[in-house]
Amino acid sequence: MSIRFDPAAKTLTLLTRSTCYQMQISEFGYLLHLYYGQRAVENFRYLCQTADVGFSPNPYESKLDRRWSLDTLPQEYSSTNTADFRLSSLNLCAANGAWGADLRYVRHAVTPGAYAVTGMPCAFDKGGESETLAVVLRDASAGVEVELLYGVFPEQDVITRAARIRNTADKPLRLFKAASACLDLPFGRWELLHFHGRHAMERILERTPVATEIQTVSSRRGASSHQQNPFVILCREGANEDSGDCVAVMPVYSGSHRTDVERDQMGSVRVVTGIHDEQFSWQLNPGESFDTPQVLLSFSACGLTPLSQTLHRFLRGNICRSRWTNRRRPVLLNNWEATYFDFTADKLLRIAREARNLGVELFVLDDGWFGRRSDDNRALGDWFVNEDKLPGGLETLIAGIKELGLRFGLWVEPEMVSEDSDLYRAHPDWALTVPGRDPAMSRNQLVLDLARPEVVDWLYDTLSGLLRRCDISYIKWDMNRHLTDVYSHALPPERQGEAPHRYVLGLYSLLERLTAAFPEVLFEGCAGGGGRFDAGMLAYFPQIWCSDDTDPIERLSIQKGTSYGYPVSAVGSHVSASPNHQTGRGTPLGTRAVVAMAGSFGYELDPTRLSEEERREIPGQIQRFSRYYDLIHGGDYYRLEPDCGPESEAWSFVSPEKDEALLCLVVKHPEANPAPLHLRLKGLDPAARYRITQTFFGAAVPAALQADDSGDALPVLSGAALLYGGYTLPRLFGDYPSALIHLEKI
């Protein structure tokens, strides 16, 4: 049993393969958090000590015992207006105008399998591997019950959290905050790792001490955003890739989110995470319930690497539901950076023919194929083919693409509408706009109100009709602006605070229907690149375009930050033209491929403009990626730090059986007279012996080290030597040289 109840101690204990999570029902009925850490079957009640702390009020039952205060004790789900002045998980207003809820334990139940939350994706059980604990807390005076849901996945070392809030009164109540989870870490010095950024520079790691204040990681943009990813790590001071306590907190949600971290007056750290409470309210009528998004929790006592690997496996195995999650995906070429809006059917077919000759398997037509779409100022919502560009429609173009032996993919941006469109002229009330106020504009487009079921139905009918008429293997689903002027013309004034979350529910409903109806279509998510790269989207999209920035040197930071929480198989990454159209930087074609191979490999360039040398090189890149595909997408990922040498970025993939590994390295800043470039590998079998093949890329790499199909075989080395003694690379010079080093057990 992964969930245990001790009736004498009144403790509830959740056990995974290597972790323990424990809580206790206190003498006054409050649910207190005791412990989350390495697995130990023990009563941790002794950790929860009380003391008289000034200006920390006591429950009525303990008014003569000033040592007992919710303001100082660790809790499982905190509320406002109940003598805990720290971060709250729940804020509501009852029909009589009273704020907050005094939540006391009522009952609990343990059931086999994984729970579900209404209208949102969550972790699924693949066959009896998990258990669910449901703990009901109640405030009879407020007329509310909160059911705390805990999913325990023992072998995966993951615990999930969610809350279900019920109105048990005979009058409506209003929710103004409904967090998914509260986690108290009573002891220790912690650091916060979060992943910030901007468009074309997403998920950049920032690590800061948890100070005696409130630190917030959030998005109010209606999407998980480029600016703050909905994923944080709390780690002990000094924790690194291979040692130290680390806790991951990852909401399975794609809308406005908020994670607050507070270190209180006594040094305890509290994390509260869930839907952002700004512009949020929810009217809960008698008998109705509100479900919060799910949150994934995982703990590692051995540093950041095993924590990341746990999340990678769990997202692939228990969140991603697409048939393409573990299926080999085709190498694609997207026409966007080759043509932008300026294309004809003949031009596209010439590009596709050259791509086929290079070994590409899927041709993707990006923006500009529909309505009067000659630029990004018009026609979103008019999802009919522009036959001036594509005579005979998509069907004729697709037939030509398939004659070449390629599959066909298509770009769409369904959630948006242009003012200059037939759809907007017919249904202006379908857009999010505030009555009497001109809306903020972004790319001259507005956001469709997915809180309206008729809008979701229209989008489903339109897109499903397109997929039924045309032989489309792949859909790139884009979202190129965030939500402003959020006002649903279908909701009454008192329910406008529900519009942002109802938008997300509508989006999930649409994706649920489409992916179920077309399971053979590979859907890739995109939001101006990585503006909605989150666990909620991964339930429907097995891969997400990682960033609109295709510069490989910038991508090193973007993809490294992404790797802390998300698997390589989810990362859309392409080789683009050089100089890069965003940064103007020139990089070797081989280095661009090394970086793009740490993802779902493809190309974002015009193959008709390649040099003969580039045409000769690309087929080898595609063959190399195909050869290592299973290792890259299914192996364990390691972030490596070179011990010395020029500034470099390195990472590796190791097969689950430890019989094969691939080391990848890019030199970001070559130096004159450099120190040897040396690093130690990870994840290998120390008792095994490995044959090493090294391949180098870059204009100034010595000729003897240039890439070829066979590579340069070195003497066989033991896993112990590579793990403990490390590996020294030859000196690499020039503009951004790189290396692929393959290790195979003999």
Active-site residues: which are they? Answer: 534, 614
Distance in angstroms (rounded) separating the CA atoms of residues 56 and 264: 12
Q: Residue 727's closest CA among 666, 682, 668?
A: 682
Crossing angle of helices 589-596 and 612-634, in 10° steps, is 20
Cβ neighbors of 36 (< 8 A, separation 6 or more) are: 19, 20, 21, 22, 183, 185, 247, 297, 299
Distance in angstroms (rounded) separating the CA atoms of residues 59 and 209: 33
Distance in angstroms (rounded) separating the CA atoms of residues 106 and 516: 39
Containing H/E element for 595?
helix 589-596
Q: Are 488 and 432 in contact (CB under 8 A)?
A: yes
Cα separation values, 8 from 12, 31, 36, 705, Å: 11, 15, 21, 69
Containing H/E element for 552?
helix 552-563
Q: Residue 196's closest CA among 244, 259, 242?
A: 259
How many other C-beta atoms can be found within 10 angstroms of the C-beta atom of residue 424? 22
Distance in angstroms (rounded) separating the CA atoms of residues 717 and 727: 10
Cβ neighbors of 113 (< 8 A, separation 6 or more) are: 125, 128, 130, 131, 132
Q: Residue 538's closest CA among 583, 578, 569?
A: 569
Distance in angstroms (rounded) separating the CA atoms of residues 618 and 593: 9
Cβ neighbors of 673 (< 8 A, separation 6 or more) are: none
Is the sign of the CA dihedral 437, 440, 446, 450 positive or negative?
negative
Q: Are 253 and 570 in contact (CB under 8 A)?
A: no
Q: Are 591 and 320 in contact (CB under 8 A)?
A: no
Phi, psi for 248 (deg, rounded to 5): -100, 140
Distance in angstroms (rounded) separating the CA atoms of residues 206 and 209: 10
DSSP letter for 675, please: P
Identify each DSSP E strand in 154-280 by its residue range.
158-167, 173-185, 190-198, 201-209, 214-219, 232-236, 246-251, 257-263, 269-275
Q: What angle do CA 337, 340, 341 make, to 5 degrees?
A: 170
Q: What is the 3-state secondary structure (H, E, C) of 283-296?
A: EECCCCEEECCCEE
How many other C-beta atoms can be found within 10 angstroms of the C-beta atom of residue 359? 15
Distance in angstroms (rounded) separating the CA atoms of residues 136 and 682: 45
Q: Are 645 and 676 in contact (CB under 8 A)?
A: yes
At 188, list the tokens.
């220790």
